[in-house]
Amino acid sequence: MGADFLWTTFTRLLGALDVTLSVWALSIVLGAFIAAGITWMRGSGVRPLVYFAKAYIFVFRGAPLLVQLFVVYYGLGSIPAVRASIFWPFLRDAFDCAVLSYALCTAAYQSEIFRGALAAVPHGQIEAARACGMSRVTLFRRIIFPIALRQALPAYSTEVISMTKATALVSMVTLWDVMSVALKIRNDTLVTYTPLIVAGAIYFVLNYLIARAFIAVEHWLSPHLRARPN
Amino acid sequence: MSTVKFIGATLASTVLLFAGAAQAKDWKTVVIGMEGAYEPYNLTDPSGKIVGFEPDVAVDVCARIKVECKIIAQDWDGMIPGLQAGKFDVIMDGMSITDERKKQIDFSIPYTQTPAAFATSKSSPLAKLAGKVISLTGEKAAGDAAIKELKTALKGKTIGVQVSTTHATFATETFKGVATVKEYKTTDERDLDLKSGRIDAVLDDQPTIVSMLSKDDAKDFTTFGPEFTGGAFGVGAGMGLRKTDADLTAKFNGALKAAFADGSIKKYSLKWFKIDTTPR
Amino acid sequence: MNWTTALGFGDRSWGPAMVEGAVMTLLVSTAGLAIGAILGSLVAWAKLSGAKFAGAIGEGYAALFRGLPELLVVYFVYFGSSALLTAFANLVGIEGFVGVPAFAAGSLAVGVISGAYQAEVFRGAFLAIAKGELEAARSVGMGRWLMFRRIIAPQVLRFAIPGLGNLWQVALKDSSLISVTGLAELMRESQLGAGSTHQPFTFYVAGGALYLLLTAFSDRLFEFAEARATRGMRREAH
């Protein structure tokens, strides 16, 4: 009986993994685009844009994700003007709403990561490239981007793992991810710990795999930092 | 004294501090769990006090069996686990008496019986569906016909219910493959989604629906379709107690019978539900 | 009622409840950070001491709570702590249910998560102490407790302040998850107000604004603390 229950719980939770992973992937990607915009604004030197970017980062990093989620899902949904707007078909759907809210949140963190990474590019290299007459596009593509990418990876890995853990909150806005299914099993069967432990194991393995993947990418991108083969 | 003894003593005294929450078997205080968010059965006013039909009934029957009752708030999805863990001794939250639940807990005699009702937007085609109160156990043929009609009307639509309720069970079983059923932790969240148009209909106890519709922001909404009793909806709402507290259940049953006899429960029912919901 | 009445301080208004919620959030986050500091320093100590077994346990604890969703930890601690305490109480002979108050369970959850990250902060802070100072202290014959009190602890605290400031913000945000246990902190009060008045936008934005206020205020506090703690310290040339 125990093993049976364990197996059904496990398969049911795995079945919900697609919701967890889609929210996770879509919000990170969407967040990256928004973050690129915010970082650009922050570094633009144009006062209003810089202020907006700083304010955006402050708000979306300072408020708890749960509050942000509820503002976007329940808050916006209760405003008649929003319901009449073109955004409504998008905001109406719980999944889309959740992805939007998460993307807005991760964008603030990613923007800071991008900013730090860009600042870490040695200025000497940029000067040298310009002295050679490199165009701005080539400069970005060949010098800034690769170096910044490598710099950003450790912090980015932390943020990506943060996002996996954050997806558990979609259980609070009617989405059936791993967390909600685990809680439902607990409520229906009154078995308290098994569903939570199995869910925890799934999240833990997921995060472990992501961490390993990032380490592999970092390793691949930094051959110059490894010891010379003897 | 030695470190071990010191740690042991500190732990023991800490536990004794918490032991104030442990009850004696001769009932002096009874802790009752309610949501405080299930108007008009129970709701929380801004001062934090839980008021409503059930607090009134609770205070009444507790006085009859000479215990002091303490009402605490508990989220609906943690009700039965909380009772089993001992967080409180009684559940009073419009909890329908069903065979499924009887496997886990005991119930008092029902103190209220109301049908389940649907609600939707006045501009929805669903609003045209009329209906009457049908008992799913007593009037099988009428019940089946009504359900068939509902299935056609609700095809492809979304119904909102609260998790782990008889309404959730009924909706997911009956409308499987026909309509999408969305489950919410609280009725407030579900009603918000109804008002914003995310879901097409909601299913809940009739007094709760009526209470929701009576508020200003629900003037564009109305009930529709049949109202069901019996079947998956149980035989009325009762107090939920642990199986090991049969003595307390018996005491409350006696108190409830007396409260019915002298019309107290009818009084509270009229006050909060505007109708008499005494079980037949 | 319009939003000014809903959030005001009148008779049927939720202003007081929201402020109380904010205070509760502050208290629970502080308690959580404190618990995390105890756990974090224990783990850091275990890892630094070189003792294989203790270090492994510390590393395991940190890895576990860095890899689990915070919401899951909150539920687990909430369900589990009462069960544990009741079992313990029954052993000692106390009948019936012994409840862990929501505040204790909540701060424990926040603390257990925070500790996993604070371990790294403390470890890094300790490693930043100039080796020369520790060597000098030992060569003069300073006792271990005196060395800890005079050299290690003050400097660890000083180096840890930036990291701790960060983790404080995290604790503040994690505390919003404790709302699922029913504790009357800020998130919970926002939910109750939103549910009662059917004005979710008003209440969740107000709740968010209060969180931001707490964040901004504590930011200032930590900046001040860092400035005071590092006064007189020679800054390396960059």
Task: Tell me, yes or no, whether C88 lies in a domain.
Answer: yes
Task: Tell me, yes or no, whether B280 lies in a domain.
Answer: no
| B-C Cβ pairs (cutoff 8 Å, strict) | 72
Question: Do both B224 and B244 map to the same domain?
Answer: no
Task: Judge: B21–C88 Cβ closer than 8 Å, yes or no.
Answer: no
Q: Which residue of A has its CA nearest to B181?
A: A174
Answer left, alpha or beta for residue B43, where phi above 0 means left and psi between -120 and 50 means alpha.
beta
Residue written as token pair 């991810």: A177
CB atoms within 10 A of CB B119: 25
- B65: domain CATH number is 3.40.190.10
Q: Please tell me the distance from the alpha carbon of residue A183 to that of residue A192, in angstroms, as a whole number.
A: 9
Domain count for chain B, please give it: 2
- Residue range A51-56: mean pLDDT, rounded: 95
The 10s digit of each residue's pLDDT in B129-167 is 888 888 888 888 888 888 998 999 999 999 999 988 999
Would you state the pLDDT for residue B117? 93
Question: Do both B53 and B94 map to the same domain?
Answer: yes
Vertex A9: Cα angle to B83 and B76 (nearest 5): 30
Closest CA to B56 of B208, B207, B247, B273: B273
- Structural fold of domain A2-222: MetI-like fold (1.10.3720)
Query: Where residue B90 falls among pLDDT bands split at 50, 70, 90?
Result: very high
Cβ within 8 Å of residue B146, ≥6 positions away = B131, B134, B225, B226, B228
Task: At B83, list the tokens.
Answer: 């009772």
Q: What is the DSSP string of B41-97?
A: TEEE-TTS-EESHHHHHHHHHHHHTT-EEEEEE--GGGHHHHHHHTS-SEE-SS-B-
Instruction: Name the pairing type of β-strands B133-135 and B68-73.
Output: unpaired
Domain count for chain C, please give it: 1
| A-B Cβ pairs (cutoff 8 Å, strict) | 36
Q: Could you tell me how far CA C219 lies from the centroid of its own chain?
A: 15
Task: Judge: C200–A77 Cβ closer than 8 Å, yes or no.
Answer: yes
Question: Do both B38 and B108 map to the same domain?
Answer: yes
Q: Quote the DSSP letter at residue C99.
A: P
- Residue range B10-14: mean pLDDT, rounded: 56
Q: Quote the DSSP letter at residue B175.
A: T
Task: Tell me, yes or no, whether C126 lies in a domain.
Answer: yes
Q: Would you say residue C69 has pLDDT above 90?
A: yes
CB-nearest to C72 from A76, A78, A199 is A199
Across chain B, how many H-helices and E-strands are there?
Answer: 10, 14
Task: Judge: A174–B81 Cβ closer than 8 Å, yes or no.
Answer: no
- C136: domain CATH number is 1.10.3720.10
Answer left, alpha or beta for residue A143, where phi above 0 means left and psi between -120 and 50 means alpha.
alpha
Would you state the pLDDT for residue B20? 43
Question: Do both B80 and B168 map to the same domain?
Answer: no
Task: Tell me, yes or no, whether B279 lies in a domain.
Answer: no
Task: Judge: B37–C192 Cβ closer than 8 Å, yes or no.
Answer: yes
Question: Do both B72 and B129 map to the same domain?
Answer: no
Helix residue ranges per DSSP H, chain A: 2-15, 17-42, 47-62, 65-70, 76-77, 80-84, 88-92, 94-119, 123-131, 136-139, 145-166, 178-189, 193-221
Cβ within 8 Å of residue A27, ≥6 positions away = A98, A99, A102, A103, A106, A163
Residues in a beta bridge with A118: none
Q: A62 by DSSP, 3-state: which?
A: helix
Q: Taking the CA atoms of chain B, what radius of gyration do you get in angstroms?
A: 21
Give the H/E segment covering residue B118.
Answer: strand B116-121
The 10s digit of each residue's pLDDT in B101-134 is 888 899 999 999 999 999 999 988 888 888 888 8
Q: Please tell me the distance from the alpha carbon of residue A36 to that of residue A45, in angstroms, as a whole number.
A: 15
Question: Which contacts of A68-71 are long-range, i.e. CB under 8 A and separated by 24 or more positions?
Answer: A68/A101, A68/A104, A68/A105, A68/C208, A69/A98, A69/A101, A69/A102, A69/A169, A69/A170, A69/A172, A69/A173, A70/A172, A70/A173, A70/C190, A70/C191, A70/C194, A70/C200, A70/C204, A71/A101, A71/C200, A71/C201, A71/C204, A71/C205, A71/C208
Q: What is the ipTM of this complex?
A: 0.89
> What average pLDDT does chain C have?
88
Q: Taking the CA atoms of chain C, what radius of gyration do you get in angstroms?
A: 22
Question: Do both B65 and B154 map to the same domain?
Answer: no
Q: Would you say residue A121 has pLDDT above 80?
A: yes
Question: Do both B59 and B81 map to the same domain?
Answer: yes
The 10s digit of each residue's pLDDT in A188-213 is 887 888 899 999 999 999 999 999 99
**Burial readout C210-232 (b: 16 or more C-beta within 10 A, e: otherwise):** bbbebbeebeeebeebeeebeee
User: Are the C-beta atoms of B42 and B93 separated by less than 8 Å?
Assistant: yes
Tell me which residue range forms the domain holding B19.
3-113+236-273
Task: Judge: C69–A75 Cβ closer than 8 Å, yes or no.
Answer: no
Q: Quote the DSSP letter at residue C233.
A: P
Report the share of chain A in percent with pLDDT over 90: 60
State whether residue A203 sits within 8 Å of chain C by CB: yes
- Residue range C173-186: mean pLDDT, rounded: 92
Starting from the edge strand earliest in sequence, which strands make up the sheet with B68-73, in order? Answer: B68-73, B29-34, B90-91, B240-241, B106-107
